Amino acid sequence: MNAPLRQLTWVFTRDVTFTFGGGNASMELLRRSLQARGWIDAPTHALLMAVSRLTPGTSILAFCASGGWLLNGWRGTLAAVAGGSLPGSLIIFGLAATLGTLDRYTVVRGLLSFGMLAAAWLVLVSAWALLKPYLTGAGRRRVLIIIAIAASLYLIGWTPVRVLVVSAIAGVLLPTAKRGRVDQPTAPTATMSV
Amino acid sequence: MSVVVVYLLLLKATVTSFAGMGSLPQVRQDFVDTHHLVTADELSEAVLIGRATPGPMGAYVVAVGYQAAGVRGAIAGWLALITPAFLALPLLVTVQRWLHLPRVRSLVDAVVIAGATMLVPAAALLAFDGATQLLRLLR
């Protein structure tokens, strides 16, 4: 896949920089944008999610790096990482240098609250988009066991990395059913921005 | 404090965490407790700025770098933020190469399923924080 560099840069910049609520919400926006353009399909998005979760550091930037790599090689990686990190970093630098505490601005707090609620919705949609192909395909029992393991360990306070490692081991050890609909792309969805 | 040291300290924090704010304990230990490069209040301010700004949560390290060493510190913070992302490339290439093997496919599937499962409490926390802030403003 060789996505046009300018478009790629714009999509990553827009979907990461203009999203409140962190990387999970941005990843959902990126999924919609990249799939709408036919640049990636659902299994590729799932692969990018897995790789970004297993990479140290900020997950959304790992998503940008690997997504950019798949779409346009080294140039795509550099463009996506720069697009996903530079504008936000410049805003933070500007605020750190000028404003000081933002807490006193009611407008900022109000916007932040709405941004967080919108981001929570996006994160839930993202979780469902990832889980749906597994839950509707063959081997649902195996999927439910992995979900139960991950949820239990996370809720008792294990770090996400440990949860992922144990879940990965469980995934390898649990018997697999016939491959289900997980390899099929999900239906395209409408784009929504925060 | 040398800007290289600021970069290395921030890199140590970002490369040993697996989420945006996951680097905070290490940053606090190195910058506030051990080297006294920023105060606890300055760190809280940096976190607040990071949260109030759209984009990656982990970008608060740019503000930490700025508070510790000015403009060059901010650049060091940005570099520390993006450096670990490039580790995704060898991982991606390796996974793609072996993805046709059922065991590797099962492993990747399990990571995706577990990652998606953990998104649900993350969304709940975000919604709770947003709703709480909104209610506080309306009172």
Q: Which residues of chain B does A84 touch, with a Cβ-Cβ cutoff of 8 Å?
A: 55-56
Q: In the predicted model, what is the mean pLDDT of residues A56-72?
A: 93
* Inter-chain CB proximity A108 and B52 less than 8 Å: yes
Q: Which residues of chain A does B77 touch, with a Cβ-Cβ cutoff of 8 Å?
A: 89
Pair of tokens at residue A49 = 């999610």
DSSP B52: H
| Spatial separation of the C-alpha atoms in residues A24 and A53, rounded to whole Å | 10
Distance, C-alpha A86 to centroid of its chain: 18
CB within 8 Å of A189: residues ≥ 6 apart:
A32, A35, A129
Q: In the predicted model, what is the mean pLDDT of residues A113-139?
A: 80
| Spatial separation of the C-alpha atoms in residues A74 and A66, rounded to whole Å | 10
Of A47, A57, A163, the CB nearest to B108: A47
pLDDT of residue B18: 66
Q: Hey, is A173 helix, strand or coil?
A: helix
Q: In the predicted model, what is the mean pLDDT of residues B37-44?
A: 83
| Spatial separation of the C-alpha atoms in residues A45 and A30, rounded to whole Å | 9
For residue range B71-83, list pLDDT tens digits in order: 999 999 999 999 9
Dihedral Cα B41, A157, B118, A124, nearest 10 deg: -60
Checking if the pLDDT of A189 tops 50, the result is: no
DSSP letter for each residue of A73-86 = HHHHHHHHHHHHHH
Q: Which residue has the higher pLDDT, A21 or A5?
A: A5
Q: Hey, is B132 helix, strand or coil?
A: helix
Of A51, A64, A126, the CB nearest to B119: A126
For residue range B55-105, list pLDDT tens digits in order: 888 898 999 999 999 999 999 999 999 999 999 999 999 888 888 888 888
Neighbouring C-beta atoms of residue B9, cutoff 10 Å = 24
- The residue assigned the tokens 């081991």 is A169
Per-residue pLDDT band at A32 (split at 50, 70, 90) = very high
* Inter-chain CB proximity B56 and A26 less than 8 Å: yes
Distance, C-alpha B103 to centroid of its chain: 30
* Inter-chain CB proximity A92 and B124 less than 8 Å: no
In this prediction, the answer to ipTM > 0.85 reads no
Q: Which residues of chain A does B120 touch, with a Cβ-Cβ cutoff of 8 Å?
A: 124, 127, 151
Q: Which residue has the higher pLDDT, A156 or B125?
A: A156
Per-residue pLDDT band at B111 (split at 50, 70, 90) = confident
Kindly report the average pLDDT of chain A as a whole number: 82
Distance, C-alpha B29 to centroid of its chain: 15
* Inter-chain CB proximity A113 and B134 less than 8 Å: yes
pLDDT of residue A101: 58
pLDDT of residue A193: 33
> What secondary structure, in 3-state letters, does A90-151 show?
HHHHHHHHHCCCCCCCHHHHHHHHHHHHHHHHHHHHHHHHHHHHHHCCCCHHHHHHHHHHHH
CA distances from A73 to A8, A68, A77 (A): 12, 7, 6
pLDDT of residue B101: 86
Q: Which residue has the higher pLDDT, B139 or B106?
A: B106
| Spatial separation of the C-alpha atoms in residues A64 and A62, rounded to whole Å | 5
For residue range A142-188, list pLDDT tens digits in order: 999 999 999 999 889 887 778 888 999 999 998 876 544 444 433 33
**Whole-prediction pTM value?**
0.76
Checking if the pLDDT of A191 tops 70, the result is: no
Biggest alpha carbon distance in chain A? 58
Kindly report the average pLDDT of chain B as a whole number: 86
pLDDT of residue A180: 45
For residue range A5-20, list pLDDT tens digits in order: 999 999 999 999 888 7
Neighbouring C-beta atoms of residue A55, cutoff 10 Å = 25
Nearest-Cα distance to chain A for B2, in Å, is 19
For residue range A69-124, list pLDDT tens digits in order: 999 999 999 999 999 999 999 999 988 887 655 556 778 778 777 877 877 887 78
* Inter-chain CB proximity A58 and B19 less than 8 Å: yes
| Buried residues in A112-151 as b, exposed as e (16+ CB within 10 A) | bbebbbbbbbbbbbbbebbbebbbebebeebbebbbebbb
Checking if the pLDDT of B52 tops 90, the result is: no
Q: Where are the alpha helices (DSSP H) in B1-139?
A: 3-15, 24-27, 40-52, 60-82, 88-98, 102-138
* Inter-chain CB proximity B55 and A143 less than 8 Å: no
pLDDT of residue A137: 73
Tell me which residue of B63, B68, B59, B58 sits closest to B34, measured CA to CA. Answer: B68
Nearest-Cα distance to chain A for B40, in Å, is 13
| Spatial separation of the C-alpha atoms in residues A70 and B89, rounded to whole Å | 10
| Spatial separation of the C-alpha atoms in residues A81 and A78, rounded to whole Å | 5
